[in-house]
Amino acid sequence: TKNIVLETKNAFVSSKVTDDKGKPLEKVKIELIDKKAKLLIDKTESDSEGYSRIAIPSNKEIDVLFKKPGYLF
């Protein structure tokens, strides 16, 4: 017999947040919520070009929340 070790890797959520005219939105808060435990996994915010990237732990079902005062997502 052989021992087999499977290495799991994180996935990533990458996004570009824009307004209704396509202009990038800076400092949009982005939160990853564990759907089962209803707990915050991690958070970040969009950069000056509206981009963000955040790691998702393996084997997690998540919700992604976007928040910025004055905007509905």
| Mean pLDDT, residues 15-23 | 95
pTM: 0.79
Q: Are 65 and 59 in contact (CB under 8 A)?
A: no
Q: Is the model's pLDDT at 5 over the cut of 70?
A: no
Distance CA 54, CA 4 (A): 29
pLDDT digits (tens, 9 = 90+) for 22-55: 999 999 999 999 999 999 999 999 999 999 999 8
